[in-house]
């Protein structure tokens, strides 16, 4: 009898994994960066981040944490705690204010052996927390480039 109970429990857990959606990581990219204020030691930035959903279902985002690296140096980290929905196979943009110390990133950018018009690498890493569903958090790690204007 005990064996039957264990078998039924294992079958139930396996059934849950079949019904739980297999969500792909959303793609995040920096859409725009606004300088709000600046001193020698810190900069206040408004970062606009585009979230693209490759899944067949909407992502009800309840929070998002992230870290942004530029030229291999951490530029900023932050969190977006306002809820928003990214439609299925769609995108949504949100803005968040961060305080950054760009000294390390500026030194790395200026110290490059590339020309001034060469693209600069960035990386955005973090986690999306969902408001509902079986899957409650999705990690992400994306890289891209931008050019200094």
Closest CA to 124 of 43, 45, 38, 47: 47
Pairwise pLDDT comparison (143 vs 117), residue with the higher score: 143
Domain boundaries in the chain? 23-146
- Residue holding tokens 């931008």? 146
Give the CATH architecture of domain 23-146.
Sandwich (2.60)
98 Cβ neighbours under 8 A, 6+ residues apart:
44, 45, 46, 47, 68, 76, 77, 78
- Lowest average pLDDT, out of 10-14, 34-38, 88-92, 126-130, goes to 10-14
What mean pLDDT comes out for the span 81-108?
A: 84
Mean pLDDT for the chain overall: 79
Q: Using the predicted structure, report yes or no on whether residue 143 has a pLDDT greater than 80.
A: yes
Q: Using the predicted structure, report yes or no on whether residue 41 has a pLDDT greater than 80.
A: no
């Amino acid at each position: 009898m005990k064996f039957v109970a264990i078998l039924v429990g294992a079958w139930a857990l396996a059934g849950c994994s079949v019904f739980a959606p297999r969500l792909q990581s959303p793609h995040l990219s920096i859409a725009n960066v606004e300088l709000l204020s600046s001193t020698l030691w810190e900069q206040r930035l408004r970062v606009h981040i585009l979230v693209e959903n490759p899944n067949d279902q909407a992502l009800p985002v309840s929070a998002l944490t992230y870290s942004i690296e530029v030229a291999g140096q951490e530029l900023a980290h932050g969190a977006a705690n306002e809820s928003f929905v990214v439609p299925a196979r769609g995108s949504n943009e949100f803005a968040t204010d961060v305080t950054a110390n760009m000294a390390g990133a500026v030194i790395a950018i200026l110290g490059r052996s590339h020309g001034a018009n060469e693209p600069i690498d960035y990386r955005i890493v973090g986690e999306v927390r969902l408001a509902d569903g079986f899957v409650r958090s999705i990690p992400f790690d994306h890289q891209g480039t931008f050019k200094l204007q």
